[in-house]
Amino acid sequence: MSSKKKNKAKSKSTGKQGQREALSLINQVARNARTALSRHLLDIGLYAGQDAVMLALDAKDGQTPGAIAAALGVKAPTITKTIGRLAVQGFVRREGSPDDGRMMLVFLTDAGRHQIKAVRKAQRRTEKAAFAGLKKKHVAALTSLLATVDANVARTLAAASDAAVDPDLGDGEDDLSGSDNGSPAEPSKTE
């Protein structure tokens, strides 16, 4: 084999290996970041996923569980369970809709609004630790690259979803996501 062909073959395998390593590292960073945030949240009495629901309500109070689930990209039963836990903790309250008695609306309580400050502080602590030693330009470059990777993955998921719905495109058995990874981590049953 000529040296040009060898270099081209080596370049392809290095590129595939580099992509494999990059995606593995992205997954590891996401797990570690979520674990770090979860530990900070536990310090303030919250479980992973509860923060997202509270922040969604802080942005727009009085939403239905379905609207919160859609905004967070998770399934409604996950949100219903999380809302139930937050209600028991006194951070949210549920009320029937004045327009449609069949609909339930979720609101932050005063304690929930106070807890939002602690949630944001936990986020800042996690961000500060994650980006320690990086310059703003490096964070901006990383953000841009990750946005491109995310868009690529989202397109692949959309195509897989279209294939599941369109009988002309296949049976939908090739779900590339493998699971519903958009769900917030649920606390153990021993809480």
Instruction: Quick: pLDDT tens for 104-137.
Output: 999 999 999 999 999 999 999 999 999 999 999 9
Provide the whole-model pTM.
0.70
Given this model, what pLDDT does residue 100 score? 85
Greater model confidence, 190 or 168: 168
Amino acid identity of 81? K
pLDDT at 86 over 90: yes
Assess contact for 50 and 112: CB atoms under 8 A. Answer: no
Four-point Cα dihedral 105, 106, 107, 108, nearest 10: 180
Taken in order of first residue, the domains within the chain and their CATH numbers are 14-134 (1.10.10.10)
Given this model, what pLDDT does residue 176 score? 35
